[in-house]
Amino acid sequence: MNSHFVISSLGYPRIGENREWKKLLESFWAGKTEEEGFEAEMKKLRLQRLQKQRELGVELIPVGDFTLYDHVLDTSAMFGLVPSRYGYAGGPVSLATYFAMARGSKEAPACEMTKWFNTNYHYIVPELGEAEPRLVGNRPLAAYLEAKNELGIDGKPVLVGPFTFVKLAKGYKQERFAELVEQLVPLYAQVLRELEQAGARWVQIDEPSLVTDLTAAELAVLKSAYKQLSSAAPGLNVILQTYFEAVSAYQTVIELPVKAIGLDFVHGREGNLRALREFGFPAGKTLAAGIIDGRNIWRSDLGGKRQLLEELAAIVPGERLIVQPSCSLLHVPVSLAREEKLDATLLGALAFAGEKLGELAVLAQAARGDGGEAAAEAIAASTRAVAALNASPARSGAAADVAAAKSSRALPFAERQQLQETRWQLPLLPTTTIGSFPQTAEVRKARQLWRKGEWTEAQYDAFVQEQIRVWIGLQEDIGLDVLVHGEFERTDMVEFFGEKLDGFAFTQNGWVQSYGSRCVKPPVIYGDVRFSGPMTVKETVFAQSLTAKPVKGMLTGPVTILNWSFVRDDISRKDVTYQIALALREEVDSLEAAGIGMIQVDEPALREGLPLKNADRQTYLDWGVESFRLATSTVRDTTQIHTHMCYCEFHDMIDAISALDADVISIETSRSHGELISAFETETYDKGIGLGVYDIHSPRVPDKNEMLSMIGRALRVLPGRLFWINPDCGLKTRGQAETVAALRNMVAAASEARLELQK
């Protein structure tokens, strides 16, 4: 292959190399930074990102992918789609209103937040039931002009497409889908016209919903929308961008009147290649090929990527190829530059956002034939690095031995429930929390002192025990029925376990955005996962020694550990999950042997790993359920297994959730409580369940009556004898005062509801 193709980026991490973005946001929210200074500093960070991508050789640099919270929320704000509860009166959306939608305010709860397709990024769900859309500010144009005027960069504006935006929204009946897309299309057309008039040459319109299963009616809406958009700005080169899977309805999509089609040749490689071979690609159109993995951190074998490019170039000439990551790089850390402690073999096999763009530059040099020996050696070095990790003793290649492992409880739930009621003697509508309590600055400082070696193990243990003692006392004073130890020893619900299991590694600066300013540092599963000793027994047993009330052991489940880690890609995800499950089973057994009779194994990420195509879902659910049961089925019948899930659309998961066979499940639902309750009107669930009665992601403290109303609505469709009362998620990110106040209101609401049920 001897040709030139264009290098593009679909999006770059927002958080900055040192999480400057997060720090700016939290300083602004805390009132420590004025709005003018906040916006000035955010502009600096925004421009630094663009300059960095230019330095790395990107030719089509995305602009407009930067956000102050979430890119979908930005789209809602751009079109004035602000629910009436925020008191919005039209015009540009203020920062106060914008952040109220994201985080809630004293006057109004936040908008619903849910996962961006099957990733661990959360977006703010648009609400289309009230406001009539109108263009109140052309954000892509502002981003384009800023890049051009400040840096001389002729950027590629990025926006969420109208089809995907409405697909991801709520507050409307399905029969209005076409109508709502049609309402938005003229506004998108105006955005594109103004970009064309400003001199923009390329624009990226993200339509990831095109990789999901689509109906003929939806495809008709898609075709109508893009016909109108094409005629609105005929001189603008539109890239219709898909990612995360193979595009559905390939023949329809490639015939849309756009200049380029973006396809994922990593996570959708098999399906997209098959379609490309079978149906070809239209003459005159450009293929934007995502060949570098934008969702995982492994270095590419560039020899294999070069072969893929050669195969693509045999169908689409190099001059009509754009080469790019498979999706936005917001899902990976920024740079490997500060990683100094990883094993050399592992470090050599990693690539973060900056390194991934560097890989594209090497491929471009090799394709043009001007890279010489340096490009050839870079390609050979990548192949050696990947092979070295695969040959590491940490990777045995052996599948988890699950054939003889026990994966079902001895008695069915109905019989276990009677035994557990006798053992625990809990009141009707028992109250509990999900697990974590506030991680204060004092807690974080103590952990830092211990990690730096400035505190001994004994000093740190004493500190953690004092925190547990305080919060056991607070929980008893509040009146909760089932207590937790608070997880003060844990940085993160996945990282904590990864640090204590074989097969995991940890970066120093591998942060990625989860939601808002919340950044996480996912563990790296690079080798075989094995149990190496008890992980939670010490703190849980200490907490139980302080109270006569039951204290739950708190574990993170195997599928969540998988989905919230960067996972090795040399064996199947199923086999990795089974390895984790068998390791966790030994921890469950250790807790039970130490006298802990309630054990919560959280699976908040079960649904987010659900494949985007219906045909692939049951296989995933089968091994996901099996892994949970492998971890939890060895306990006695009187031991109560709890679990917790986030953002779960209950109606399409009910069979799998029931098959977990947990004695109690709590579901994070406060931002979409009504939708979930409506699901129970047509579905049944016959095990213990707690629907989160207040939103922990917002700093507001809901009053008793608000929670009582939620409880009452749930009890209209759920049996009181199986219903638990809890917040909708862990309380790690909240402050102590608001946590105590909200829990007191929750217990008061539960007490009042209990009295009503007993009448």
Quick one: tokens of 298? 């492994």
Q: Who's near 11: CB < 8 A, 6+ residues apart?
A: 62, 65, 158, 327, 328, 329, 330
Residue 685: what pLDDT? 82
Residue 695: what pLDDT? 78
* Confidence tier at 136 by pLDDT (50, 70, 90): very high
What residue type is 54 in one-letter code?
A: R
Backbone φ and ψ of 696, nearest 5°: -85, -10
How far apart, in Å, are the Cα atoms of 282 and each of 250, 253, 254, 604, 678? Answer: 12, 11, 7, 43, 46
* Confidence tier at 647 by pLDDT (50, 70, 90): low
Residue 644 assigned as binding residue: yes
Residue 162: what pLDDT? 98
Which of 228-242, 292-306, 606-620, 678-692 is predicted least confidently? Answer: 678-692
Residue 728: what pLDDT? 86
Dihedral of the alpha carbons of 514, 515, 516, 522, in degrees to the nearest 10: -10
Residue 646 assigned as binding residue: yes
Q: Which domains does the chain have, with CATH numbers?
A: 417-611+621-758 (3.20.20.210)
Residue 671: what pLDDT? 53
SS3 assignment, position 696: coil
* Confidence tier at 412 by pLDDT (50, 70, 90): very high
Residue 304 assigned as binding residue: no
Give residue-wise pLDDT tens across range 657-668: 899 999 999 887
Residue 608 assigned as binding residue: yes
SS3 assignment, position 504: strand
* Confidence tier at 1 by pLDDT (50, 70, 90): very low
Residue 340 assigned as binding residue: no
Which of 80-89, 139-148, 715-724 is predicted least confidently? Answer: 715-724
Give residue-wise pLDDT tens across range 460-487: 999 999 999 999 999 999 999 999 999 9
Residue 435 assigned as binding residue: yes
What residue type is 577 in one-letter code?
A: T
Residue 729 assigned as binding residue: yes
Residue 673 assigned as binding residue: no
Among candidate residues 369, 360, 254, the one with its CA nearest the CA of residue 316: 254
The set of catalytic residues is: 697
Give residue-wise pLDDT tens across range 268-310: 999 999 999 999 999 999 999 999 999 999 999 999 999 999 9
| Higher pLDDT among residues 507 and 647, named by residue | 507
Whole-prediction pTM: 0.91
Q: Who's near 749: CB < 8 A, 6+ residues apart?
A: 693, 704, 705, 707, 708, 711, 725
What does DSSP assign to residue 111?
P
Among candidate residues 399, 758, 451, the one with its CA nearest the CA of residue 581: 399
Give residue-wise pLDDT tens across range 496-551: 999 999 999 999 999 999 999 999 999 999 999 999 999 999 999 999 999 999 99
Residue 518 assigned as binding residue: yes
Among candidate residues 277, 233, 279, 280, the one with its CA nearest the CA of residue 259: 233
Residue 120 assigned as binding residue: yes
pLDDT at 227 over 80: yes
Give residue-wise pLDDT tens across range 177-195: 999 999 999 999 999 999 9
Residue 112 assigned as binding residue: no
Cα 363 from Cα 324, distance rounded (Å): 11
Residue 118 assigned as binding residue: no
Residue 115 assigned as binding residue: yes
Phi-psi region of 419 (alpha: psi -120 to 50; beta: other; left: phi over 0): alpha
Residue 422: what pLDDT? 96
pLDDT at 370 over 80: no
H/E run at residue 115: strand 113-115
pLDDT at 492 over 90: no
| Higher pLDDT among residues 669 and 20, named by residue | 20
Residue 668 assigned as binding residue: yes
Quote the mean pLDDT of the chain: 93
Residue 602 assigned as binding residue: yes
H/E run at residue 412: none
Give residue-wise pLDDT tens across range 7-21: 999 999 999 999 999
Taking the alpha carbons at both ends of the chain, their separation in whole angstroms is: 80
